[in-house]
Amino acid sequence: MHTVRFRDPAGAVREGTWTDDGVAFAGREYDLDEVDVLAPCDPEKIVCIGRNYVAHADERDEDVPDRPLLFLKPPNTVASHDDIVELPAGKETLEYEAELGVVIGEQCRDVAEAHAEDVIAGYTCGVDLSNRDDQSREQNWVRGKAFDGAAPLGPVLATPDEVPDDARIRLWQNGELRQDSTLDHLVFPIPELIAEISAYLTLEPGDVILTGTPEGVGPLADGDTIEIEVEGVGRLEHEVAIPN
C-alpha cells in the first residue's frame, strides 16, 4: 500500500491513499492538482549515511568507512513533492544525491538487527541536497547538509512488502538519467543501520534514515528539475532555485 500526506482544498492535512488517478480519502478522490502533496512523515530528525555505496566513495576519491558514517539533517530540511527548493546563494558546487528513505514506525532504542524490520513503517524516496563548498570546510556539515529544504522526501510511504531487497534506485536531472543502481549494493544494509543508529539515538515515529547514495552525483543549476524513483515506491520530483 502507498499512503500520502496531503493538504486538501480546505487547508486540512489528511492522510490518504495514492491511486493511479490521484489521492483517495474518506470515500472521495482528489486530482493531484487539487491538493498539496506533503512529505510522507514529519520527522524529528533525519539520520543520513555517508559513503554507503562503494562506487560513490570511489567517485569522491574517499575510503569506504569501516562502520556507518552518520550525520543529521534537522526538520527544517524537509521538502515535499513538487516543491521548488531554494539552495544557498553564492556557492560553486551544489549537488544532488538520490537515496532510499526508511521511515521509522515506533519509538525504539537498541534494536537488534534481527528485529529491525519490526520498527519500519515503510519506505520513501529522498534526495540529499549538498552544499559542497561548505561541507569541505567543516566537520559537522551543518552548512553543507542542514540548510532549509535540503531533504526532499516523498511522494508516498510504501509499506515494506512493496519494496524488493534489490530495488532499483534512479535519478534524472532535467530528464537525463544520472544515477542508476540497486539497494543490494549498500555497504551497510538497512538492519545494520537501524541497529547501529539506535544504539546511540532513540528513534521516534516518523524519523527517517537516508541510506546513502549511489554513484553519479553531480552539480545542480538554477531551474533544474530532479526526479528520483525507487522501485516499489514511486517517483519524487522537485525543482531547485539558486538566488543570484
With 0-12 CB in 10 A as exposed, 13-18 as middle and 19+ as buried, what is 215? middle
C-alpha distances (whole Å) from 186 to each of 146, 181, 182, 189 are 23, 10, 8, 6
Q: Does domain 1-38 have CATH number 2.30.30?
A: yes
94-123 pLDDT, tens per residue? 999 999 999 999 999 999 999 999 999 999
By the 8 A CB rule, do 151 and 157 touch?
A: no
Which pLDDT value is given to residue 67? 97
With 0-12 CB in 10 A as exposed, 13-18 as middle and 19+ as buried, what is 243? exposed
Whether the domain at 1-38 and the domain at 39-241 fall into the same CATH topology? no
CATH number, domain 39-241, options 3.90.850.10, 3.70.10.10, 3.40.50.2000, 3.40.50.1980:
3.90.850.10
120-153 pLDDT, tens per residue? 999 999 999 999 999 999 999 999 999 999 999 9
Which pLDDT value is given to residue 244? 87
For the CA atoms of 23, 203, 182, 85, the dihedral, rounded to the nearest 10 degrees, stands at 60
Pick out the chain residues at pLDDT < 50.
none
Domain residue ranges of the chain, discontinuous segments joined by +: 1-38, 39-241
